[in-house]
Chains A and B, each alone.
Chain A
Amino acid sequence: MRNLLSFGIGLLFGIGLCISGMIGPNKVLAFLDLAGQWDPSLALVMGGAVLVGILGFSFAKTRERDLLGGPIELPAAAPIDAQLICGSAIFGIGWGLVGFCPGPAIVDVGFLDPRALVFVAAMAIGMAIYEVAHLRAPASLALEQDA
């Protein structure tokens, strides 16, 4: 049941990414190119998603259990630390180089485009490198926040 629900949610998420235009790296790069011919569309994608999300999360905060009876796992409060800052900056550089963030890149694998496959494979390797570094690092690096 949990897997079926997750599958349907993945499909809805993917369809939203398709409709919004975010699956096209050129569309994303046109948004990130403030000094060129700027396409503001993606600001509206984020705005629309956050608007609906606020309703969902403010309701989730009043509940302890999800619909399937499991715990609602909201990320715990954590400090703004060097990992958050460095990680986000590194991610932004990669995003600006190609025009892909994780969700849309995974969706584009569905077109069987070899370029999307190579990007997602490299992304998974990047994540695996983090996992290895994270396991070896002392407790100070062991930040557990799954967002």
Chain B
Amino acid sequence: MVDDEQRGGLLNLLWLQSGGCGGCTLSLICAEQPDIVSALEVAGIRLLWHPSVSEASGTEIRSIIDAIRDGSMPLDILCLEGAVIHGPNGTGRFHLQAGSGQPMKTLIAELAGQAKTVIAIGSCAAFGGVTAAGDNTVEASGLAYSGSVPGGLLGSSFRSRGGLPVINISGCPVHPDWVVETLLQLGQARFGPRDLDDFGRPRFYTNHLVHHGCPRNEYYEYKASAEQLSNLGCLMEHLGCMATQVHADCNIRLWNGQGSCTRGGYPCISCTEPGFESPTHPFLETPKLAGIPMGLPTDMPKAWFVALAALSKAATPPRVKNNAVSDTIVMPPTGAKPKRGK
């Protein structure tokens, strides 16, 4: 077994998966500059085991887990990807660990108690996510939340051995950099409770709204709305976009090079927020009351919003109005007239 000296100052990381799709790992291996293997090196992290990339299989994994259990292998960082599955009837039998037949929820709770830092990777591990959708027949929860309610598997008062609550890197999927930058800061021991928001999410990406940096902002300003997917206009009024309320930097820090949901032509479905999986309306439709979209920006008086919207709609330039309902720019901006000397 590995003692502290042999670890050479590296942090041991164990990655488990339970009730999820594995998409956060797949997003993570799209990490660039550097790639994920280099990023772990830079962060000073030694991968004890990860289900998609490590060599160890079967009994080799079980012996790593046993060594953590008996304390001979220190566990610095535990990452869980996927929801905790409690069903049926609290038994956890909808997900038994392969090879041991032990309910995964029991193993996760045990290892979370040993880990210096616990990270929930993705909205499933943080809040339950898609695995908890609908009637939640599998009784899925997050590590320390069920939806927006504190508790989950570990309980609202849970603190890992290092003193932090569960770090919830929410998102469906996570952006690779959200994980990488959290790990880099943990590696430097420069990540504390003040770096987390009210849902335990790293503030470096949740201090922003998905709306920030959205290329449709001018359409939003004038309430020039897309009438169907593929139109260039703002997706909020008709197509269910929640970007003005959703915490994440998706349009500042882009995805797979140059992408984001709204850049890809479809609405933000609020995937970093607890409970996003069960909206009260179809994902691609905006719920309205008397013709006015419900769920307006949370920190703006509604009356002001309605008044400003009416005003800006009336002032919409024809260019913005026409482009909003087209799939490509039909009226380009005209340049400022060149100033002439006298």
Do A and B interact?
no
Which B positions have Cβ atoms within 8 angstroms of A? none
